[in-house]
Each structure stands twice: as structure tokens, then as C-alpha cells.
Chains A and B, each alone.
Chain A
Amino acid sequence: DQQVKQNSPSLSVQEGRISILNCDYTNSMFDYFLWYKKYPAEGPTFLISISSIKDKNEDGRFTVFLNKSAKHLSLHIVPSQPGDSAVYFCAASRRNSGNTPLVFGKGTRLSVIA
């Protein structure tokens, strides 16, 4: 039972364009959502997060949008750079229930082409 779903295994974008990575979740108890980036042979690194009381959070080139009614979130990267090429994982937790361990999606491999 996959509670966090990333349905696109891969995405290819030209340098300078927008990258949009999508994530869906099924557990309505999730109230905190995060994106992690992973390079080969390294552990995931935290990128950006959003609480369920918000619908948007922005940090530099990265913006996360949350649509609670659709149980959907997306990560926008503008402009995309070759160094953004990595696997991106969406994760969710129940922060109001004692910060439960993160549940991850399967990831989307982003390739930014120069």
C-alpha cells in the first residue's frame, strides 16, 4: 500500500526551463510534506517542506505547492540548472501526531539538459 506516490519515474528538462515534479498521497492524516534530493552514492538531502496549513512555500528557485483537497503536491524548480539533476523524493509525515517517521515516494529522476 503506497501512501505516497510519485508516478513519473523520470523527467527531462532543458536548462533554464521549469521543472515540475508531482506527488500524490492517500493518507489524509499527513500534515507535513517534504522534498529530498539524492545524488548517486549519497544520502538524501532535505530541500524544502510545507505544512498542511499552507498551500505554497518558496525558497529561492524552489517552490512547493500543496492542494489538500486533491491530496497532491508539486515541486517547481525555476530556472532548472544542470546541477539539479538528481533523484527527487517526496515524503510525508504526521507532525501533529508526534512527528511520525517519514513515508517516502519512489522518487523521480530529473535530468536537466544543458
Chain B
Amino acid sequence: DTGVSQDPRHKITKRGQNVTFRCDPISEHNRLYWYRQTLGQGPEFLTYFQNEAQLEKSRLLSDRFSAERPKGSFSTLEIQRTEQGDSAMYLCASSLGGPSFTEAFFGQGTRLTVV
């Protein structure tokens, strides 16, 4: 297992279009997190899953954002009707939750540019 994988690495889209990002976590990790990072800021939490259940959503996650993790494996993050303010690096991370807790391991991110 080579770690957390995100696809695509870069996405340029026109304002108003929908985009979808994919994250493949480390295979044995039951937790999967989505973060967003903008210039000069640290990663900001968006949402996370334990297995297939979405346990928490940040208030940053507007109605235009939706995340899924079918079957508790890979996850997708969709942004509908993109706005220029959505331009950011979207980071996915995975970890083991529960008694065998591990630190979160991050993917390389998807850089979204909305023009």
C-alpha cells in the first residue's frame, strides 16, 4: 500500500460547473477525513467518515458540498455550482480510529482552481 491517493492532482473548472474528487485511503484505515487548505492557512476540517458513516460535517461544508464513502473504502467529494471562493487545495487523510488509534496520513491533495 503506497499511502493515501487522491485524484485528480489538479483541476481547473469554470464557475458554475460541478467537480468531483476521489480519495483512496490506506486500506486498513477505517477513518477518512476531508480538509481544505487555502493560501496562508492551515488545513481546515470539512468532514469525516468512520467506515461508511459520515460522523461530522463542518459549518464550512455548505449545501453545495457533498461527500460519500460507499462501502467504507474510497471517498468522493463533490462541489456543485463551483464559486471562485472554492479555489483551494482539498486534502484527504485516513487513520485508524478506536483503540488502535493512529495518526492521520494525508494524500498529496487536489488543487482546485475556479475561473
Contact = CB atoms under 8 A, between A and B. Distances in A.
Q: Which of A45, A102, A104, A107 has the most CB of B within 10 A?
A: A102
Chain A interface residue number, banded: 20 to 34
* Most chain A Cβ neighbours within 10 Å, of B43, B45, B106: B43
B43 A104 contact: yes
Contacts of A42: 108-109
Given A99-B97, A101-B45, A101-B56, A106 B40 contact: yes
A48 B25 CA distance: 21
Contacts of A99: 31, 95, 97-98, 101
B107 A103 contact: no
A34 B103 contact: yes
A19 interface: no
B interface residue count range (under 10 / 10 to 19 / 20 to 34 / 35 or more): 20 to 34
Interface in B1-48: 4, 31, 33, 35, 40-45, 48
A43 interface: yes
B91 A43 contact: yes
Contacts of A101: 33, 45, 48, 56
A36 B42 CA distance: 11
Interface in B73-115: 91, 93, 95, 97-98, 101, 103-109
B56 to A, nearest CB: 7
Interface of A: 4, 6, 9, 34, 36, 41-46, 49, 89, 91, 95, 98-99, 101-107
11 contacts: A4-B42, A6-B42, A42-B109, A43-B93, A45-B106, A49-B103, A89-B42, A99-B98, A101-B48, A102-B33, A104-B35
